[in-house]
Amino acid sequence: MDIVPDTSVVIDGRVSEHVESGEFAGATIHVPEAVVGELEAQANDGRESGWDGLSELQRLAGLSDADEMTLEYVGRRPDAVEKRDAGEGEIDALIRDIAAEYEATLFTSDVVQSEVARAKGLTVEYVEPRTEAVEDLAIKQFFDEQTMSVHLRAGERPRAKRGAIGDMHYEVIREDVTDEGQLKDWAQEIENSARADPDGFIELSEPGMDIVQFREYRIAIARPPFSDGFEITAVRPIVKTDLDDYAMADELRDRLTEQQRGVLISGSPGAGKSTFAQAVAEFLAKSDFAVKTMEKPRDLQVGPDITQYTALGGSMEKTADSLLMVRPDYTIYDEVRKTDDFEVFADMRLAGVGMIGVVHATRAIDALQRLVGRVELGMIPQIVDTVVYIEAGEIAKVYDVTTQVKVPHGLMEEDLARPVIVIRDFETGEPEYEIYTFNRQVVTVPLNDEDDGAGSESGVDRIAKQEVEREIRSIAHGHVEVDLRGPNTAVVWVEDDDISQVIGKGGGRISDVENRLGIDIDVRTLSERPSGAGQGSSGSSGGGGGQQAGEIVTPEVTSRHIIVPMDGHAGDTVEVQADGEYLFTATVSRGGEVQVSRGSAIAEELEQAIDRGKTITVVPS
């Protein structure tokens, strides 16, 4: 009898069992090198399945030495591409080829492998995959009613986040140090349970990282070299709410049901955004709406009548295309973070699907500002008409988002009328922010001076001052300072050598600037300025009253990076600041720039500063 086992039965230990039971007694076991290569790759990645398979091969070697069967290794090892594409069937194909070459029986517990082999005319012996009865995971011992997440790391004491939403504490929960062997046993149990349980699945499996959803637990298993130590992090929701548990529940119910909406649920990490999203999803499902979710990983705790989708082939864009065929009334998009996510959200909404997105933001207005630059400005109110800000598990703010053609607040000239996005407090109806294009730049202007933290200088004043300064700097070569004297009047102070250049022949150049900005500008020399008068802004080549103001730069925002130009500073270490406040320290590349990847915490902070019109400066460290 000639037997060719595939990887599945080697990992399960089924080959040695069949030899010991007499079913394969005296058989010749042809083990494909493709199986050995796949097991070796899994073991190198720290996966228990690889170690289990290698242990089975050692048992088979012992049985061969005892003359209970004959063991041969045959075929060739898979190359890097074939190992990478193992999930696409490349290694399975190599194993079938070996079975055909030796006219052997293919032994497998992989149902797809067995069906393909039979279709190709091979003799197949199929056994059901081995599963274990699943009750509860061993790591459940670390959870109590107030535990949101458990953090287990080799060589460290177990820790957990415990408390109420908005009042979580990261604390040691046991004094005994967890060893790596124990973590590996727990990881194996978690992965096996996820495969066996109908309410479990492996969301992601990459070298060094597995993400598992088992019932209400989302579990991340990290291994070296991806992490610097073996670690298991398990998260679960600690509370399930109903829409009635929140403020303005009646008003939000009416708003969501009167027509399909575009909603952003925003808040800081751990504030309760997903908990609120679950409450909204279940309310909509009970209100005769077809509701689906888009999540990666899928961890929203929703009822069985709501189907949860993940990234199809690794792409949420493909998921969206599929959902448009399903035609949901509302889709809950959990974790809208990257530009691609916002574009998918926008496409779904413009296709007529009600969309509810969960977004990280430290203020309600920041959720909307994350759309700026990612979608066309005028389309924002069609994509998002409602923003709900969650803080400490409660609704702290709701915004209504609309578009009006009007003169922006604080500006006077009728010819400055333009499309303006108006953000109103949903409860009071009072406008709190305006977003519009001002001299080719998108600006977000707070209408309540208390909110923008700028003392007596309003958001409109700051934007106007910045734009006047930018226009004059494009003409002047030396130092420039700007004083606003009223809503439509400014005084510009320039170097003596620059005044004629700024004014232009017959005042033509400064008139052009005035017409573009809708502001009357009085140009004077710095030598005329009284000492200490006003608060100017330093130009790129002038002094700043004795303070080191740094070099003002204009970052470029691309789809993947924020690029800070720093010509002439290659190799230097610099501090990047916004309105004089420290953001981060970086080393300038050989190309004379600093690149920050969008989506990182540093990039988010820098992008917010740019969105708010802050002056970005770079100071040698």
Cis peptide before 530 (omega within 30 of 0): no
Mean pLDDT of 296-308: 85
Residue 451 has a pLDDT of 47
Evaluate the CA torsion angle 568, 573, 578, 581 in order and state its sign.
negative
Q: What confidence tens digit (pLDDT) does each residue in 266-297 have?
A: 998 878 898 999 999 999 999 999 999 999 87
CA 192 to each of CA 184, 212, 402, 455, 576: distance values in angstroms, whole numbers, following the listed order: 12, 10, 51, 59, 48
Measured CA to CA, the distance from residue 329 to residue 258 in angstroms comes to: 12
Domain ranges of the chain: 2-126, 138-235, 243-452, 459-528, 551-620
Residue 197 burial (CB count, 10 A): 17
Q: Is the pTM of this model over 0.75?
A: no
Q: Could you identify the residue written with the tokens 């993947």?
A: 560
Q: What is the pLDDT of residue 332?
A: 97
Please tell me the distance from the alpha carbon of residue 513 to that of residue 213, in angstroms, as a whole number: 59
pLDDT(8) > 80: yes
Confidence of residue 452 (pLDDT cuts 50, 70, 90): very low
Q: Alpha helix (H) ranges present in 76-150?
A: 80-84, 90-101, 111-119
Quick check: helix, strand or coil at residue 260? coil
pLDDT digit string (tens) for 174-232? Answer: 999 999 989 988 998 888 888 777 778 888 888 889 989 888 888 999 999 899 999 99
Average pLDDT (82-96) is 72
Is a pLDDT exceeding 60 seen at residue 544? no
CA 22 to chain centre: 54
* pLDDT at residue 539 in the model: 40
Q: Once rounded to an integer, what is the mean pLDDT over residues 165-176?
A: 86
Q: Can you tell me the mean pLDDT for 238-245? A: 84
Rg value, the chain, Cα:
32
Average pLDDT, the chain: 85
Strands 520-525 and 561-565, bridge-based pairing: unpaired
Which range among 170-184, 246-260, 564-578 shows the weakest confidence by mean pLDDT?
A: 564-578
Nearest by Cα to 374 from 414, 347, 395: 347
One fold for 2-126 and 243-452: yes
With H, G, I as helix, E, B as strand and everything else as coil, classify residue 284: helix
The CATH code for residues 459-528 is 3.30.300.20
Mean pLDDT of 93-101: 91
- Categorize the per-residue pLDDT at 160 as very low, low, confident or very high, splitting at 50, 70 and 90: very high
Domain 138-235 -> CATH class: alpha beta
3-class DSSP state for residue 606?
A: helix
Ranking 63-77, 164-178, 181-195, 433-447 by mean pLDDT, the lowest is 433-447
Kindly give the pairing relationship between strand 573-578 and strand 616-620: antiparallel
Mean pLDDT on 427-446: 85
Pick from 177-191, 228-242, 465-479: least confident: 465-479
Which of the listed ranges 408-422, 467-481, 539-553 does the model predict with the highest average pLDDT?
467-481
Tens digits of residue pLDDT in 12-47: 899 999 999 999 988 999 999 999 988 888 888 767
Name the 3-class secondary structure at 387.
Answer: strand
In terms of DSSP H, where are the helices of 311-370?
Answer: 316-326, 339-350, 364-369
Q: Which residues contact 451 (CB under 8 A, 6 or more apart)?
A: 432
Tell me if the domain spanning 243-452 has CATH number 3.40.50.300: yes
pLDDT band with cut points at 50, 70 and 90 for residue 596: confident
pLDDT tens figures, 401-420: 999 998 887 666 666 788 99
Of 206, 213, 203, nearest in space to 227 by CA: 206
- Give mean pLDDT, residues 604-613: 82
Compare 614 and 423 and report the one with higher pLDDT.
423
Provide the Cα torsion 112, 113, 119, 120; round to 10°. 160
- What are the tens digits of pLDDT across the range 311-364? 898 899 999 999 999 999 999 999 898 889 999 999 999 999 999 999 998 889
pLDDT reported for residue 219: 93
| Band of pLDDT at residue 166, cut at 50, 70 and 90 | low
Q: Looking at the structure, give the CATH architecture of the domain made up of residues 2-126.
A: 3-Layer(aba) Sandwich (3.40)
pLDDT of residue 548: 44
